[in-house]
Amino acid sequence: MIGYVTIGHNDLEKAVAFYDAVFEPLGFARTFKDGGWAGYGFGGKSEGLEFYLCNPENGQPATFGNGSMLSLKAASRAAVDAFHAAALKAGGTDEGAPGVRGNFTPPFYGAYVRDPTGNKLAAYFKG
């Protein structure tokens, strides 16, 4: 069971603007922003799965992991579509438009983006 996820950023204001926008359709909201860090939780609560943005502690620039991706469950296909649109509007880049992937039962509907630092994110709905 995952408790929380932390990813690096190089510009807190740009990162917060991006994640405020893309998390809203998925039901996550910011819980704090302080000292190079920001936190998010489902419904704006600091319990359950939490997501954090941070400046790397070693003082080096944040980079994305090749082959790494954070995937987030969405409540509907419409939420996946809204996540993707919000990501592009907030400065993210497209890595795969919303649509059905593979031949699964129930259908797997997903969208893929990169945040301004280059971290890859997905939102998906099964059903």
Least confident of 15-19, 42-46, 109-113: 42-46
| Number of domains observed in the structure of the chain | 1
113, part of any domain:
yes
Sheet containing 108-114: order of strands = 70-73, 120-126, 108-114, 93-101
- Within 13 Å and on the Cβ side, how many CA atoms surround 100? 7
Q: What is the CATH number of the domain that holds 24?
A: 3.10.180.10
63, part of any domain:
no
Q: Among 68, 114, 109, 120, which residue's Cα sits nearest to residue 87?
A: 114
Residue 72 bridge partners (DSSP): 123
pLDDT-based confidence at residue 11 (cuts at 50, 70, 90): very high
How confident is the model over 16-30, as a mean pLDDT? 96
61, part of any domain:
no
105, part of any domain:
yes
Instruction: Tell me which residue range forms the domain holding 117.
Output: 4-56+68-126
pTM of the shown model: 0.88
Is residue 29 over pLDDT 90?
yes
Is residue 48 over pLDDT 90?
no
62, part of any domain:
no
Is residue 1 over pLDDT 80?
no
